[in-house]
């Protein structure tokens, strides 16, 4: 009876070992994400052949949800940020962003991604500025918290708001620290 029990246990262990091996290294990078954003902010206005720009800091919060489909991440995210760029430059203020994120998992800890979405800035103008944000970045999982570094470009509808030929662009390099729930 003891030999039968030992053989049965050894057989069960042998069958279970490949199942454990398949799970090793298969990390689910999906789920809810929340974090704090900070970085460099540059707003450039072009009107009548004259360019003017101002630099500052961007800071705020972000949240999103990612779906892990194997080596690909598909996600949605929202962000609420403000800037130190002053009132003398159109009062570029509170920025609300909502968009999509598409990423490639290079390994269990690193994801390279592209993002695109809608941005709405509360500026000291007749109405808020609306625009499109495009960006790319890298996300690293530090085991308990997540860090991101990304570049983002936004283009706003200054011409529609001011009824003049004005082009407004925003360039940001941001760092995000957060956690996945």
Could you give the 3-state DSSP secondary structure of residue 124? coil
CA gap 146, 140 in Å, rounded: 6
DSSP track, 4-54 = HHHHHHHHHHHHHHHHHHHHTT-----EEEEEEEEEEEEEEEEETTEEEEE
**Cα–chain center distance at 32:** 12
Q: Which pLDDT belongs to residue 144?
A: 80
Average pLDDT value over all residues in the chain: 81
pLDDT for 38-53, tens place per residue? 999 998 877 777 778 8
Fold annotation for 31-180:
Porin (2.40.160)
Q: Which pLDDT belongs to residue 162?
A: 58
List the one residue out of 80, 89, 153 whose CA is nearest residue 120: 80
Q: Where are the domains of the chain?
A: 31-180
Does the pTM exceed 0.75?
yes
What are the mean pLDDT values of the chain's consecutive 10-residue runs (181 residues total)? 42 41 60 97 80 89 96 96 76 86 95 96 74 96 94 79 68 96 89
């Amino acid at each position: 009876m003891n030999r039968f029990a030992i053989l049965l246990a050894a057989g069960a262990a042998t069958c279970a070992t490949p199942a454990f091996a398949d799970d090793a290294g298969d990390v689910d990078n999906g789920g809810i994400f929340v974090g704090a954003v900070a970085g460099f902010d540059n707003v450039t206005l072009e009107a009548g052949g004259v360019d003017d720009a101002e630099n500052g800091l961007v800071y705020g919060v972000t949240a999103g949800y990612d779906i892990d489909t194997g080596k690909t991440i598909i996600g949605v995210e929202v962000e609420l940020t403000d800037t130190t760029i002053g009132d003398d430059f159109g009062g570029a203020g509170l920025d609300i962003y909502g968009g999509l994120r598409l990423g490639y998992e290079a390994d269990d800890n690193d994801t390279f991604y592209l993002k695109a979405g809608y941005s709405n800035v509360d500026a000291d103008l007749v109405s808020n500025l609306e625009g499109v944000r495009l960006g790319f970045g890298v996300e690293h999982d530090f085991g308990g918290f997540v860090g991101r570094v990304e570049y983002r470009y936004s283009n706003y509808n200054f011409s529609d708001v001011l009824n003049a030929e004005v082009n407004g662009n925003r360039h940001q390099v941001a760092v995000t620290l957060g956690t996945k729930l």
